């Protein structure tokens, strides 16, 4: 499962990860498929260089990697 599809499991959650999932769902340019942190970080910074949610994205990606490695 790629990060985008993993993230969509949280789209109905009333937490920052849910906000991220809803933002990703509404963003047609959000990267999909197998990607690494550098690619995702570059995309997030290109959309909003001052993105205060970057740490939320990083945490979500780390949770994804941890779950994927199980």
pLDDT digits (tens, 9 = 90+) for 24-70: 999 999 999 989 999 999 999 998 888 778 999 999 999 999 999 88
The 8 Å CB, 24+ separation contacts for 49-55 are: 53/16, 53/19, 53/20
Q: In angstroms, rounded to a whole number, what is the distance separating the alpha carbons of residues 18 and 35? A: 20
How many other C-beta atoms are found inside a 10 Å radius of the C-beta of residue 10? 18
Q: Please write the tens of the pLDDT for every residue from 1-18.
A: 999 999 999 999 999 999
Domain CATH for 13: 1.10.150
Structural tokens at position 68: 């994927």
Task: Find the domain containing 54 and state its range.
Answer: 3-68
In total, how many domains does the chain have? 1
């Amino acid at each position: 499962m790629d990060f985008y599809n993993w993230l969509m499991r949280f789209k109905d959650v009333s937490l920052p990860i849910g906000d991220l999932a809803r933002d990703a769902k509404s963003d047609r340019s959000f990267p999909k498929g197998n990607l690494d942190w550098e690619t995702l970080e570059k995309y997030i910074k290109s959309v909003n260089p001052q993105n205060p949610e970057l740490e939320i994205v990083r945490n979500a990606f780390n949770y994804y990697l941890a779950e994927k490695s199980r």
